[in-house]
Structure 1
Amino acid sequence: MYLSRLILDLRQPAVRRMVSDIYQLHRSVLAAFPAAPAGQSARAYFGILYRSETIAQRPMLVRLLVQAQHEPDWSTLAAHHLGPDLDERGNPAVRRIDEEYARITNGTALFFRLRANPTRKLPERLPGREDRLAGKRVALLREEEQLAWLGRKGEQHGFRLVATQLEPDIPAVQAARQANERGRRPAREGGQTMALTFGTTIFSGQLEVSDAERFRACLSQGIGSGKAFGFGLLSIASMGL
């Protein structure tokens, strides 16, 4: 498993166009990987997950994190699209993370960060009612709904959210709703251009691993929907416990 960290320079018009359209960023990320076998999604085949975010105190720079089973070739990005090397690790910086994930055991405590698209499915259309949203997925907008969604994902994927010290029933997690991510998928033969819109929430806080095998699978496969467009990458860091 490989983790890439790229610093992109928003002063470049091509970079601004790329990060402002989730479909264009999707294409730029996938361009660093070989073609997948016929009939298979390259994102799923190579296990590609990624997240872009503006760097605090450096508003003209964007950090792009990309995790994948296959080592990427970032020469597909023009050199002038890259910003400065902020920490002397190189830009792009690419490293193996298999051993770090292998060391995770039940009870491991971790800080985490996740950009997700928390949604719920509406009931199917009822007889005698016309509802264009019936049976579709809609974004969860209230913080309590978003935290409950993440708690359910934790039960599914082998982790629990750590509670605050003062309020045992309240998780030590922040759910920060962001502006919707948008883009346009080009028209396929005989079709029309498709507008893409994803509700966006940044989760950050503390978790504890309850099932290491399922949790490692979650790290590899991501959480929630929208993985092809920069959602679902669970980033972790040791709490030193």
Structure 2
Amino acid sequence: MHLTRFRMNTARSGARRLLTSPQALHAAVMSSFPGLLPSDPHTTRVLWRLDHTSRAEVFLYVVSPTRPDMTHLVEQAGWPAAASDPETPGWQSRPYTPFLDQLTTGTVWAFRLTANPVHHARRKDGEPTKRTAHLTTHHQQRWLLERQERAGFRIVEKPAESRLLPQGTTYQGHAHHGDRYELTVRDRRDLAFAKSHTSKAAVRLVTVTYDGLLEVTDPEVLRRTLTQGLGKAKAYGCGLMTLAPTAPTQGRA
């Protein structure tokens, strides 16, 4: 497995086109792997995510089974002249497996995840359920909390004295997570785009980015989460979780 980072040159029209079309960016990412055939059912999933650190600074992260060749992305959305030096091709890629292998139970990491938090609901009795986006921060938090143990981790809780909301607070009849956890939900995006160049059907997604601290509860399951993704809409930039150290003595991903 490999983890790759590519910086988008937001001043270029090619970058702006990719940033406004998850469908186009997905195709560009998949084009980085000549050995992967989209029609092959045994193809290992490629995960990707955009991190908007500022208006003019956007990074593309990719987790893939092989090292990508992003020359075409550099030409469309990077700095081709700067990338002419073989030592600086325009992206950074490194083996991911050594980091994954060092994950152990009980270690704590900072994490980031962009996801498509959805649930199945019906408007009235007798109707089939329909996949529906969670729209409130409370429900978006709960979506992740309901999946944490099955994904191999536990969101770290704040000390009671550091919480602003008292324990027992409720929201619409449910326990309100408030600021109980080291978890924030931000950067909500409502996306709508054509499913393909030849289809008039529209894809509509609500995505959010989670930042927080997690504790590893099952290293093997967490490795699977980090390489296979969490939740729906993985082809459109959702599901990729990355970890970073909370102390300088730990590893980095």
Same fold (TM over 0.5): yes
Which residue, out of 145, 161, 185, partners 2:195? 185
What corresponds to 1:176 in structure 2? 186
What corresponds to 1:62 in structure 2? 58
Pairwise CA distance, 1:19: 1.1
* AA matched with 1:197: R
**1:17-62 deviation per Cα after TM superposition (whole angstroms, max 9, x unaligned):** 1110110111111111125457435xx7232111112233xx2232
Do 2:14 and 2:77's aligned partners in 1 also have CA atoms closer than 8 Å? yes
What corresponds to 1:199 in structure 2? 206
* AA matched with 2:185: A
Change (3 A) 1:94 1:187: closer
What corresponds to 2:4 in structure 1? 4
SS of the residue 2:194 aligns to: strand
Identity of aligned residues (%): 26
Pairwise CA distance, 1:69: 0.9
Which residue, out of 152, 162, 177, partners 1:158? 152
Q: Which runs of 5+ in 1 are unaligned?
A: none
2:77 corresponds to 1:81: yes
What corresponds to 1:91 in structure 2? 90
Do 1:187 and 1:194's aligned partners in 2 also have CA atoms closer than 8 Å? no
Which residue, out of 221, 232, 247, partners 1:225? 232
Change (3 A) 1:78 1:220: closer
CA distance in structure 1 between the aligned counterparts of 2:96 and 2:39, rounded to whole angstroms: 29
Change (3 A) 1:89 1:183: same
What corresponds to 1:49 in structure 2? 47
SS of the residue 1:174 aligns to: strand
CA distance in structure 2 between the aligned counterparts of 1:32 and 1:213, rounded to whole angstroms: 28
SS of the residue 1:147 aligns to: helix
Instruction: Supply the RMSD in Å over aligned alpha carbons.
Output: 2.4
Do 1:20 and 1:182's aligned partners in 2 also have CA atoms closer than 8 Å? no
CA distance in structure 2 between the aligned counterparts of 1:71 and 1:112, rounded to whole angstroms: 23
Do 2:71 and 2:89's aligned partners in 1 also have CA atoms closer than 8 Å? no
Q: Which runs of 5+ in 2 are unaligned?
A: 168-176
SS of the residue 2:27 aligns to: helix
What corresponds to 2:68 in structure 1? 72
CA distance in structure 1 between the aligned counterparts of 2:232 and 2:196, rounded to whole angstroms: 21
* AA matched with 1:49: L
What corresponds to 1:212 in structure 2? 219
CA distance in structure 2 between the aligned counterparts of 1:221 and 1:108, rounded to whole angstroms: 21
Pairwise CA distance, 1:4: 0.9
* AA matched with 2:158: T
Change (3 A) 1:39 1:29: closer
- Range with bigger deviation, 169-178 or 152-161: 169-178
**1:174-223 deviation per Cα after TM superposition (whole angstroms, max 9, x unaligned):** 011512123212255xxx32212210111001000111111111111110
* AA matched with 2:244: A
* AA matched with 1:117: N
SS of the residue 1:15 aligns to: helix
* AA matched with 1:116: A
Change (3 A) 1:34 1:99: same
What corresponds to 1:17 in structure 2? 17
SS of the residue 1:28 aligns to: helix
SS of the residue 2:146 aligns to: helix
Do 1:182 and 1:196's aligned partners in 2 also have CA atoms closer than 8 Å? yes
